[in-house]
Amino acid sequence: MPFTEGQELPELTTTPDRYLTVRYAGASGDFNPIHIDEQFAQQVGLPGRILHGLWTMAQVARAQTEAAGGPQALRRLQVQFRGMGVPEQEITVRSTVRELRDGNALVDTRAEQGGKAIIRNAEAELSLD
């Protein structure tokens, strides 16, 4: 897919359902109770169960591979996790092509939930081949 500098990639929206963190725990092997046990999460000072950061990062990755037409295009993805994602609230991933360089598109991207960034300063590198 040809990209141009300044181009906005298609926005990705997704709402993790109530049991998403349980399915992701099983799929990934990360059973940290802050993601799957409401009472435990509250006991350690969280508002409730929070999303796995790497699941949220996978949404940012999916926004890139869907825009580029497949998994082979994603060469690199770098993110900073901020705040906490929670189940049952819509997440939006927005991505803008910052620069075309050496056959790759460098894309600025972020994930927001409830108006707050949960992944910020993220950069993806997509192959233009």
Partner 1 sequence: MPLNTQAIGKSFPPVTYAVGREKVREYAQAVGETHPVYLDVDAAREAGYADVVAPPMFAAVYSAPAIGPALFDEEVAIDFARMVHGGQEFRWGPLVVAGDEVTTTATLKDISERGPMAFYVFETVSTNSQDETVCVGTWTNIVRGE
Position 79, amino acid: V
Ranges within 25-84 binding partner 1 (CB under 8 A) = 26-30, 44, 53-55, 57-59, 61-62, 65-66, 70-72, 74-81
| Smallest separation (angstroms) from partner 1 to the CB of 9 | 16
Nearer to partner 1, 39 or 44 (CB): 44
Q: What is the DSSP letter of 84?
A: -
CA-CA-CA-CA torsion sign (66, 75, 25, 52): negative
CA-CA-CA-CA torsion sign (96, 102, 104, 108): negative
**Which residues are near partner 1 by CB under 8 A?**
14, 20, 23-24, 26-30, 44, 53-55, 57-59, 61-62, 65-66, 70-72, 74-81
